[in-house]
Amino acid sequence: MSPGNRKPDTARRAFSEQEDGSYATSLRGLELLREPLLNKGTAFTPEEREELLLDGLLPPVTESLDQQVHRVYAQYRAQPTDLLKNVYLEALRDRNETLYYRLLGDHLREMLPIVYDPTVAQAIETYSHEYRRPRGVFLSVDDPGGIERAFANLGLGPDDVDLIVASDAEEILGIGDWGVGGGAGIAAGKLAVYTAAAGVDPDRVIPVALDVGTDNEALLNDPAYVGNRHSRVRGKRYDDFIDAYVTAATKMFPGAMLHWEDFGPSNARRILEKYTGRISTFNDDMQGTGAIVLAAMLSAVKVSGLPMRDQRIVVFGAGTAGIGIADQLRDAMIRDGLDHEEATRRIWPIDRQGLLTDDMSGLRDFQVPYARPAGEGGGGLEEVVARVKPTMLLGTSTSHGAFTEKIVRTMASNVERPVIFPISNPTERIEAMPGDLIRWTDGRALVATGVPIDPITHNSITFVIGQANNALLYPGLGLGVIVSRARRVSRGMLQAAAEAVAGLVDPTLPGASLLPQVDNLREISATVAVAVAEQADREQLARTTLRDPVQQVQDAMWHPRYRPVRARER
């Protein structure tokens, strides 16, 4: 049974998990077939069909899960576009969650871009027109008093929830503000990856759409739009709504980690900093991205031999993600012997207006610590690279081609193993293609990207390009928090997660990837979860005893297999 000690036979719900892993339910017949977590379709046994009043409601054959997976995979492959594949998978998830997660787990590398970035962005854009089955809860800024009522209507008790993913959909995957559909779609998509990659129990999570309005005129003028029809609420009313959400969620589900996803730059960091010392909370856009880039950097350090304390880092794209990564790289330099000020001064952030300097107006609060003294000189990327002679060049700008041949060759002339991470996505927004980086540096560049890239051969060496995919890290981090029941997510836990990911590859081999591939995310997530749980225990943040973290992580992982379903009294 998953952590959280679910109480059997909770009367508020139509079904409950039993101590032996089976389900007991008051549902019968068609009602049961409409419950996606219990529905097994043709896999219901003859005995279950009789007991649960399913006789005659299903074809007479009894099939195995393997047989069903074979059929639905063929149906999936028959879909002509990625968007229709996403729609097909969501429809499967709506009718049979076990079959959905088994299919997804069997083909995770192939399907990850379909259920999440980039295809989920297309699905979000059509959410109101393709609206089907609601998932999770929809909380409105116009009804903050209804938040507890909405959560209560799920029928879940205080020990029944491990993870809540919430989004206000202001900055969805590079496509911007997509209102209630963006919040609902991105939260549900993120949780699908948590379950497929790390075995987080899908019955113990809640996706939350925080509907604060939208500034997307196309949505506001679309008759089919299902969200609040007013502009985005900001300021005190917005903050009060977020606080009401946090208060209700932590009161009703005190063991749950609150995950923030795709908030705008004016809110994301501020919200995280407000709550991070008080509750178990995590922002993947900032902390997850920072930790996976740190993992790649730790691998690069093993190859270059240049310690973190000696790095000179230029960050091109000083937004929420860029500065979030800078924070974790700075923390790693501090752990390697620098003081806070020295580490901060080893990072040069560049945004649209050029190198950030302390005499600029309009700097965001999270940019201010990294702004260079005005007398040091500003300039664009080319000038800064020539002057600073960076050892690492990080791209989070979404400016395609920004890392030009001249800039890269200038950098490579001053450092033996230049570390170049163009992690913007999708591909049409990447700062430089890895093949060019390898060629311009004669194979010396240590490269990781934010998009999947096929291997590159140069001078008879095949270079495997690691993808800084957050899915390598955040599912395991979440599972580690769940297993340890950590009171909060600390910097040390993020560092432990990054080190665990980096430890899964040997980057010193010629052409080796700096990061593991996504082929076996379950194994990666389990490794990360153990490291995170152990770090939480070391920092005295764990709220449970960790006697055997490896086994406790394995025991906590939900597996998509059919369980016996038994009738209970209505």
Residue 198 makes CB contacts below 8 A (sequence gap 6+) with 475, 476, 478, 479, 521, 522, 525, 526, 529, 557
Tokens of 62: 């009894």
Q: Collect all residues with Cβ–Cβ distance below 8 Å to 80 and sequence separation of at least 6.
A: none
Q: How many helices (H) and strands (E) does the chain have?
A: 22, 17
Q: Which of 190, 194, 238, 275 is catalytic?
A: 190
Tokens representing 86 are: 């996403």
Selection from 2, 7, 34 nearest residue 203 by Cα: 2
Place of tokens 């291997």: 455
Q: Which of 546, 488, 556, 568 is nearest to 525 (CA)?
A: 556
Give the span between the Cα atoms of 527 and 31, in whole angstroms. Answer: 39
Residues annotated within a binding site for (S)-malate: 425, 469
What is the sign, positive or negative, of the torsion defined by CA atoms of 558, 560, 563, 568?
A: positive
- Residue type (1 letter), 283: N
- Pick the catalytic residue: 23, 116, 127, 562? 116
Please state the residue numbers annotated as binding site for a divalent metal cation: 261-262, 285
The verdict on whether omega for the bond into residue 426 sits within 30 degrees of 0, i.e. cis, is yes
Transcribe 299-368 into DSSP letters: HHHHHH---GGG--EEEE--SHHHHHHHHHHHHHHHHTT--HHHHHTTEEEEETTEE-BTT-SS--TTTG
Sheet of strand 446-449: strand arrangement: 354-355, 347-351, 313-316, 392-395, 419-422, 446-449, 466-467
* 110 contacts: CB under 8 Å, gap ≥ 6: none
Annotated active-site residue 116? The verdict is yes
**Residue 510 CA: distances (Å) to CA of 295, 413, 414, 460:** 19, 21, 22, 10
Catalytic sites, residue numbers: 116, 190
